[in-house]
Structure formats: C-alpha cells, structure tokens
A and B are shown apart, each in its own frame.
Chain A
Amino acid sequence: GQNIDQPTEMTATEGAIVQINCTYQTSGFNGLFWYQQHAGEAPTFLSYNVLDGLEEKGRFSSFLSRSKGYSYLLLKELQMKDSASYLCAVGDSNYQLIWGAGTKLIIKP
C-alpha cells in the first residue's frame, strides 16, 4: 500500500530551528509537496521537490532523498505565526497526491 509518515506533533521555541520529517512509500514518484495549514484555514503551498537535494525559500527549506523515500521541511528563525500543521504529499505513478496526516507544530515563546 501507499503510505506517508510524519510526526503527529512537534514543539519548538520562537527564534529556533525545527525540522519536520516525512517518509513515504508510494507506487511511483512524481514529486513531493509541503503545505502549511493554519487552524480553520485552507492548506497553502510551501515547496515542491522532484530532484534530490535542498530547495531554499527564505526561512523555509525542503530536502528530498528519493533513494531513501525521505524528505524534511526545515524552518528557521521560528515565529509565532509558524504555529500550524505541515502536510507532506507525494505524487504517485498515477499523478495523484498521497497525503500524510500532517504535523502540528506548536511554537512557544
């Protein structure tokens, strides 16, 4: 079967760095997405990786290793507004997105 695993919840301190991991087992691979979802709001796109390596976008970076079926989202200089759920999703061989259950990130002052 197809499976996306991410931690259920993480806690970090304002100003610090946090890494949210995602491992996947899917039938085929057509890219990995990270989305941010604040409570009661729609998910919004953060990043897309299709090749191995690190993609940096401001305070957020996303890494992919296709051979290991692994990705992480790195958030630097954490702000209180970064408190949200972070969703990992993988495009499978049918180009359908398989979603993880999301990681709820709690930022403490």
Chain B
Amino acid sequence: ETGVTQTPRHLVMGMTNKKSLKCEQHLGHNAMYWYKQSAKKPLELMFVYSLEERVENNSVPSRFSPECPNSSHLFLHLHTLQPEDSALYLCASSQDGASGRVYNEQFFGPGTRLTVL
C-alpha cells in the first residue's frame, strides 16, 4: 500500500448503529486529519492529530469520536448519527514541523462515502 488508504470506501448505516472509519498513512508523516466534505460546501476540518497531540474542533458533535493509536493510524468512531451527517469523510496526512503547524501539503485518502438512513 502507498499513500493514504481509507476503509471502508462506502458505508450505509442506521441512526442507531455504531461503526468506525479507518485511515492509514504509509508516508511517514507526523500529522493526520479528519475532514467532512458535503456537496458544494468547503471542507470542514473535524480533528487533527499532530505529533501525537490532538487538536479538536469544538463544533464537532460528540457522536464523532477520533482515535489515533500511533502516527500511522487514525480512526473515526461513529454512533447515533443523524441523516445530515451523510457526507464524504476524508482523511489526510502531512509532515509538520511542530504541533498543529501546517508547513507542507496534505495528502488525502480516497474518502469514505457515508450514508445515514
């Protein structure tokens, strides 16, 4: 595997389900990100892990819970989602010089297309 991979690519879930999205980067980067992409809207940054320090966006509902067990893996745990959470969820990684600082380009995974029924 090369670059940034995400699984699953597509996910359909009910509002009462619990599921997890997985991201893995094979680039040796030290920062990883979760974004939400809805049609015709800007990318919304959800969570950042940089140098193993989590930077959280306070506007993200608690039904989204990130986990970063090491610098190569990132998870997004989902529970009791709403239909408006249906979107493309993108994971990205970059090589940063210090905690939370964006010095270089971000490399994106192909995304998980999530549909909440």
By a beta-carbon cutoff of 8 Å, the part of chain A in contact with chain B is 4, 8, 30-31, 33, 41-45, 48, 87, 89, 91, 94-102
Query: What total count of A-B pairs have CB within 8 Å?
Result: 48
Q: Is B60 an interface residue (CB 8 A)?
A: no
Contact of A101 among B41, B48, B100, B111 (CB under 8 A): B41
The 4 A-B pairs at the shortest CB distance, nearest first, are namely A42-B108, A45-B105, A99-B43, A95-B101
For residue B44, which residues in chain A have a CB less than 8 angstroms away from its CB? 99
Q: Is the interface of B mostly helix, strand, loop or mixed?
A: loop
Q: Is the CB of A42 within 8 A of B109?
A: yes
Extra A-B contacts (13), CB below 8 Å, given A42-B110, A43-B43: A4-B42, A42-B90, A48-B105, A87-B43, A91-B102, A96-B48, A96-B55, A96-B100, A97-B45, A98-B42, A99-B44, A100-B42, A102-B40
Give CA–CA (A8, B102) in the complex, Å. Answer: 26
**Interface extent on B, as a size class?**
20 to 34
By a beta-carbon cutoff of 8 Å, the part of chain B in contact with chain A is 4, 40-45, 48, 55, 90, 100-103, 105-111
B73 to chain A, nearest CB (A): 18
Q: A4-B42, A100-B42, A101-B40 are in contact. Are A95 and B100 (CB under 8 A)?
A: yes
For residue B100, which residues in chain A have a CB less than 8 angstroms away from its CB? 94-96
